[in-house]
Amino acid sequence: MARLVVRWPARLPVNLMIGALLVALVVGVAALSLIWTPHDHAAMTIRNRFQPADGVYWLGTDQLGRDIVSQLMVAARNSMTVALVAVLIGGSIGVALGLLASALGGWVEDLIMRVADIGFAFPALLFAIMLSAVFGPSLTIAVAAIAFINIPVFARVARASANQVWTRDFVAAARAAGHGRFAISRDHILPNIAAPVIVQGTIEFAVAILAEAALSYLGLGAQPPSPSWGRMLSEAQTLMFMAPHLAIYPGLCIVIAVLGFSLLGDGLRDITDPRLKRRRA
Amino acid sequence: MQLDRVSVAFGAAVALREACLQIEPGTRLGIVGESGCGKSMLGLCLMGMIPDAGKVSGSIRLNGKELAGAPEHVWRRHRARDVAMIFQEPMAALNPLKRIGDTVMEPLEVHEGLSRSAARARALALFDEVGIPDPDSRLRQYPHEISGGQRQRVLIALALACNPSLLVADEPTTALDANVALRIIDLLVRLSETRNMALVFISHDLAAVARATQQIAVMYGGDIVERGPTAQVLGAPRHPYTIGLLGARPGLDNRGRGPDGRRKRLVTIPGTVPPLFELPAGCRFSGRCTREIASCALQRPQPLALGAGQVAACHLLGQAHAGAGAS
């Protein structure tokens, strides 16, 4: 094992390292916001509005005199929480459905996958807007919407990988040992599809961050005073020419977070998918 | 276990045609033939593990119980307990992400309802029985950490876990080197004798089958062309395919130069096995057979008892038989 650890860094792809770095930065800042921010992110001091960056307000203040750094940090935490919960819920349901489809085959598989196709065809944001129209805008609705649109993605990945694993000899051996389809799915299929599912999860994390930002931008995500990158962008929109930094910083945060998770997902795919590995070598 | 006129078809491709076999408790049956002759399909028939696309007809009886066409959950009750199977590629047949101990103990806990410690004790006893040294540390290892021969022994232990009365071994020695293969064969024979367990040994290695089995069935193109006591069939083959197969073995006597001074060549059966959907309707071997007669390609030869338990399906034998009867 020690040899493995030593050999790894030399072989890690660049996108994985950059991605991991950016993700560590975003997650670290989000975690830090739990215990410390430079200022209270919601404290308004109208006297200090539109402050330029200085020693007190590192990135200045917004139109209500709130500290931008503190808002960005708390927004990072919100964004991570939404993405994590949404991807976990959507991923679990999706993987379960994919495994079920793969295990049962026949018309059940067809039905699940065709329904997943319909889910794919449905525009995600439209679905979120529809939910918000029915239940009123809230963070919970945003999470539910993002989780829901993740279900077919994971169902597809899980089924495709599971179908491959089902053809392996050890699955035949498990059947010959008298195990049922569901026990085999749990004990043999699931551990062997973990890699592609985790890769997909990382990429979907980036998508979820983007979706959360978009929903917040439309006012359908986190509600004030809870800050969010998307809402900071929309609030800065009218002030673009007066105070461009209000739009630039949250925009930059979204870019860093989405880029980080996308690169991390790509990098993980590179090291877990042997077919890609061969092509790179 | 009894197979009566069992056929397996994938659309127009007939992978197995009206196979009849009887496997008595404690006996060892070898199934030989070229790649794609249906021998693995026959093995899967015994396990009820024909892929969904395959259509099975005929009768498969286990201790008198009809299982042909039985649903998965019925077959499941018999797998591991009555019929078990080991596979060609021992690395592929073990889940690479599970410790060997977990793989072997799992069926014990599921089927026999044993506690973890009882299952562990049984697993240790099984490992001891199949000759795995240091079973204690083996249980904690992963499949990639042990050698091919050890892996095959682990699979045998896994197959024996629930004391099956029939073990199907699908080319268990193909992926192993000759020395290890011999020891695995001897292990299978010993286990079959001590446990009074029937063994179906599927292989294309005639020497391995000769060593392991008492009965043999020779397959070609989905048909069982000849069967009978192993010594009888290999010693006095009657079907042209069996004769050709035995003639095509490399050995010491076909090395070097013949009396005419030319290099001796390995005798082969001319031609190649046609694809399953292009097999001749009559005798599957027609078209490649050197002693073909008119009726071969059109009419299917029926199995013919030749005495001493030997049965072959060939028109030539039928003719000779009929001729002998008439005169």
CA nearest to B234, candidates B317, B292, B310: B310
**Total domains present in chain B:** 2
Task: Assess if residue B290 is contained within a domain.
Answer: yes
pLDDT for A153? 93
Q: How long, in residues, is chain B?
A: 327
Compute the C-alpha angle A122/A123/A127, nearest 5°. Answer: 85
Query: B200 with B280, same domain?
Result: no
First-last CA distance in chain A: 23
Query: B135 with B270, same domain?
Result: no
Q: SS3 of B10, please?
A: strand
pLDDT for B259? 67
Q: Please give the residue range of the domain that contains residue A102.
A: 14-280
Cβ pair B76:A180 closer than 8 A:
yes
Compute the C-alpha angle B165/B150/B198, nearest 5°. Answer: 15
Instruction: Quote the CA–CA distance of B18 and B16 in Å, as a whole number.
Output: 7
**Total domains present in chain A:** 1
Query: B199 with B257, same domain?
Result: no
Instruction: State the count of interchain CB pairs (< 8 A) between A and B.
Output: 72
Query: B67 with B183, same domain?
Result: yes
Task: Assess if residue B25 is contained within a domain.
Answer: yes
Cβ pair B94:A188 closer than 8 A:
no
The residues of B whose Cβ lies within 8 A of any Cβ of A are 47, 49, 52, 72-73, 76-81, 84-89, 92-98, 106-107, 110-111, 155, 158-159, 161-162
Task: Assess if residue A54 is contained within a domain.
Answer: yes
Q: What are phi and psi of A239, to 5 degrees?
A: -105, 15
Q: Which residues of B touch A176 (CB under 8 A)?
A: 47, 49, 79-80, 84-85, 159
Would you call the peptide bond into B90 cis, given omega within 30 degrees of 0 as the criterion?
A: no
pLDDT for A9? 47
Query: B214 with B241, same domain?
Result: no
Q: Which residues of A touch B162 (CB under 8 A)?
A: 178
Given B193, B220, B247, the domain boundary residue is B220
Task: Assess if residue B229 is contained within a domain.
Answer: no
Task: Assess if residue A28 is contained within a domain.
Answer: yes
Cβ pair A169:B81 closer than 8 A:
no
pLDDT for A173? 86
Task: Assess if residue B226 is contained within a domain.
Answer: no
Tell me how close the Cα of A159 comes to any Cα of chain B, in angstroms. 18
Q: Which residues of B touch A180 (CB under 8 A)?
A: 73, 76
What is the tens place of the pLDDT at every residue in A14-71? 888 899 999 999 998 888 888 877 777 777 777 777 777 777 777 777 777 788 888 8
Query: B167 with B277, same domain?
Result: no
Q: Which residues of A touch B41 (CB under 8 A)?
A: none
DSSP string for residues in B27-80: -EEEEE--TTSSHHHHHHHHHT---TTPEEEEEEEETTEE-TT--HHHHHHHBT
Buried b (16+ CB within 10 A) or exposed e, A42-59: eeeeeebeebeeeeebeb
Task: Assess if residue B118 is contained within a domain.
Answer: yes
Instruction: Quote the CA–CA distance of A267 and A18 in Å, as a whole number.
Output: 9
Given B169, B191, B220, the domain boundary residue is B220
Tell me how close the Cα of B49 comes to any Cα of chain A, in angstroms. 8
Task: Assess if residue B230 is contained within a domain.
Answer: no
For residues B128-148, give the mean pLDDT. Answer: 89
Query: B187 with B259, same domain?
Result: no
Looking at the DSSP assignment, which residues form a beta bridge with residue B30?
B201, B216
CA nearest to A264, candidates A194, A209, A213, A198: A198
Query: B262 with B202, same domain?
Result: no
Cβ pair A178:B107 closer than 8 A:
yes
Query: B105 with B202, same domain?
Result: yes
Task: Assess if residue B7 is contained within a domain.
Answer: yes
Tell me how close the Cα of B77 comes to any Cα of chain A, in angstroms. 7
pLDDT for A280? 47
Tell me how close the Cα of A84 comes to any Cα of chain B, in angstroms. 26
Residue B108 has pLDDT above 90, yes or no: no
> How many other C-beta atoms lie within 10 A of the C-beta of residue A171?
22
What is the tens place of the pLDDT at every residue in B281-307? 888 888 888 888 888 888 888 888 887
Residue B75 has pLDDT above 90, yes or no: no
Task: Assess if residue A4 is contained within a domain.
Answer: no
Q: Please give the residue range of the domain that contains residue B269.
A: 237-326
Instruction: Give residue B322's pLDDT band: very low, low, confident or very high (50, 70, 90).
Output: low
Query: B212 with B320, same domain?
Result: no
pLDDT for A274? 59
Given B220, B250, B281, the domain boundary residue is B220
> Cα-Cα-Cα-Cα dihedral of A42, A43, A49, A51, to 10°?
-90
Residue B323 has pLDDT above 60, yes or no: no
CATH of the domain at A248: 1.10.3720.10
Tell me the H-state helices in chain B.
39-47, 72-78, 100-111, 116-129, 135-140, 148-160, 178-195, 206-212, 230-235, 240-247, 315-326
Instruction: Quote the CA–CA distance of B158 and A177 in Å, as a whole number.
Output: 8
Task: Assess if residue B227 is contained within a domain.
Answer: no
CATH of the domain at B182: 3.40.50.300
- Residues (pLDDT < 50) of chain A are 1-9, 278-281
Instruction: Quote the CA–CA distance of B8 and B19 in Å, as a whole number.
Output: 9
pLDDT for B59? 87
Q: Which residues of B touch A172 (CB under 8 A)?
A: 49, 85, 87, 93
Q: What is the pTM of this model?
A: 0.78
Mutate to test the interface with A, among B91, B95, B144 (most CBs of A within 10 A): B95
Instruction: Enter the tokens of residue B252.
Output: 């010491």
Task: Assess if residue A226 is contained within a domain.
Answer: yes
Task: Assess if residue A8 is contained within a domain.
Answer: no
**8 Å CB contact between A245 and A60:** yes
CA nearest to A70, candidates A35, A23, A27, A46: A35
Q: Write the burial class of residue A84 (CB in 10 Å: 0-12 exposed, 13-18 middle, 19+ buried).
A: middle
Query: B54 with B184, same domain?
Result: yes
pLDDT for A6? 36
Residue B320 has pLDDT above 50, yes or no: yes
pLDDT for A147? 92
Instruction: Give residue B189's pLDDT band: very low, low, confident or very high (50, 70, 90).
Output: very high
Instruction: Quote the CA–CA distance of B229 and A94 in Å, as a whole number.
Output: 55
Query: B187 with B270, same domain?
Result: no
Instruction: Quote the CA–CA distance of B81 and B107 in Å, as a whole number.
Output: 10
